[in-house]
Amino acid sequence: MSTKRKTIAVLPGDGIGPEVTRAAVEVLADSAAAFGHHFEFCELAFGGAAIDRDGEPLPADTLAGCRSADAILLGAIGGPKWDALPLAKRPESGLLRLRKELGLYINLRPVRLRPALQGISPLRADRVAGCDIEIVRELAGDIYFGEHELRGENGNAHARDVAAYTTAEVERVARYAFERAATRGRHVTSVDKANVLSTSVLWRRTVSAVGREFPGIVLDHLYVDNAAMQLLLRPKQFDVILTSNMFGDILSDEAAALAGSIGLIASLSRGRKDAPALYEPIHGSAPPLAGKDIACPLGAIFSATLMLRESFGLAQEAQHIEAAVDRVLDSGYRTMDIAEPGSRVLRCSEFTAQGRHEMHDALLHTERYGWGV
């Protein structure tokens, strides 16, 4: 077992962000201690918390800390306190800038139904059981990063948001989607609106061309409205969904609901392979839950295990955490948002403590009997 030294920038952010990132940091620290790695955590101000401290959501020292880290763990940002600010000053603008500055053009959102949580999916078991989808969302272009304009007063206003893509921007994210599919079900569904949008015509043409570099992978195209419907009707038809920034934002929330809760879903945002990647749960800051220790830490914990696998090549360590969490769920422990009748409802910190306890137990067992027993 080779020892790894890693620096992790931690951006707790707003609302439930600090609670859930604390949970993820605790399991990462336990994992490092158990497997002999050295993880150094460096906490940085971001989002609304940074606006309150420095007047801007992405202060220079936060950006510098992210650039020099091996990976970044982010909680969530935003909240009613900053909602009245103009778009360019809101916490969300800090996240968009961070994505831009770090060149994070790929966003991966794995949506997997955990057997213990089958009952909380809004779909019947025969439709959703075994569902395992990876959404690959383009993250650095589209209507998110085009010009935004709002002029004039209420009765006589004019607004514009420009959507734009280049061939190169589509190619690089498409390649990633095909590479992911090659390690899984060998099927990419590209989602666009090529019956209406020029950016989508370019998207479809470019994805088809990249697809020809991967003859072993089946490529389908769906219009986004149909894709939204198919996700509910026949989610098991999907392996890797490849889509643009805006459509990916929307479809990934819908797909998360299939798994039972948006609180369960992790994400990876990355660019070039040698640059630090960013990991975050896809849920928001959930202001009504903030500070009450009742949020679900699983989106953040799975973001940590995604980090272990994708940035650090530590698959066994990730598996150790996920298996422990699954045992906690199998024992009927839940946080409030993923509870079913008869569940044993725990607070966020208690649920995390149960997971750490299971990790520790598994380790003692392994010391006695070896891995894989």
Residues annotated as catalytic are: 144, 193, 225, 249, 253
How many angstroms separate the CA atoms of 10 and 70, rounded? 11
The least distance separating ligand IPM from the CB of residue 247, rounded to whole angstroms, comes to 11
Q: Could you tell me if 240 and 188 are in contact, meaning their C-beta atoms sit under 8 angstroms apart? A: yes
Binding track over 281-300 against ligand IPM, x by CB under 6 A: -x------------------
CB of 253 to Mg ion, least distance (A): 6
Residues 6+ apart with CB under 8 A from 114: 259, 260, 264, 326, 329
Residue nearest to Mg ion (CB): 249
Q: Which stretch binds Mg ion (CB under 5 A): 44-52, 158-166, 167-175, 241-249?
A: 241-249
Considering the complex, what minimum distance in angstroms separates the CB of residue 87 from ligand IPM?
A: 10
Cβ-proximal residues to 110 (8 Å cutoff; 6+ apart), any chain: 132, 133, 134, 135, 265, 266, 306
Residue 326 partner contact from ligand IPM, Mg ion, none using kind-dependent CB cut-offs of 5 to 8 Å: none
169 binds, among Mg ion, ligand IPM, none (CB under 5 to 8 A by kind): none
Can residue 95 be called a binding residue for ligand IPM (CB under 6 A)?
A: yes
- For 17, the token pair is 């962000």
What residue number has its CB nearest to ligand IPM? 92
C-alpha span between 194 and 227 (Å, rounded): 13
Question: For residues 235, 241, 246 and 250, what is the CA-based torsion angle, rounded to 10 degrees?
Answer: 20
Site for ligand IPM in 230-259 (CB under 6 A): 249
Spatial CA neighbour of 9 closest among 19, 24, 1: 24
- Nearest CA among 20, 8, 23 for reference residue 76: 20
- Tell me which of Mg ion, ligand IPM, none is bound by residue 92, counting a contact when its beta carbon lies within the kind-specific cut-off of 5 to 8 angstroms: ligand IPM
Q: How far is the CB of 275 from ligand IPM (least distance, A)?
A: 19
Choose, by CB under 5 A, the member of 249, 254, 293, 326 that binds Mg ion.
Answer: 249
Distance CA 84, CA 159 (A): 18
In this complex, which beta carbon is closest to ligand IPM, that of residue 282 or of residue 314?
282
Q: Site size for ligand IPM, by CB under 6 A?
A: 4
Q: Is 347:21 a contact under the CB 8 Å cutoff?
A: no
- Residue of the chain from 14, 92, 322, 337 that contacts ligand IPM (CB under 6 A): 92
DSSP 271: -
Which residues of this chain interact with Mg ion, rule CB under 5 A? Answer: 249
Which residues of this chain interact with ligand IPM, rule CB under 6 A? Answer: 92, 95, 249, 282
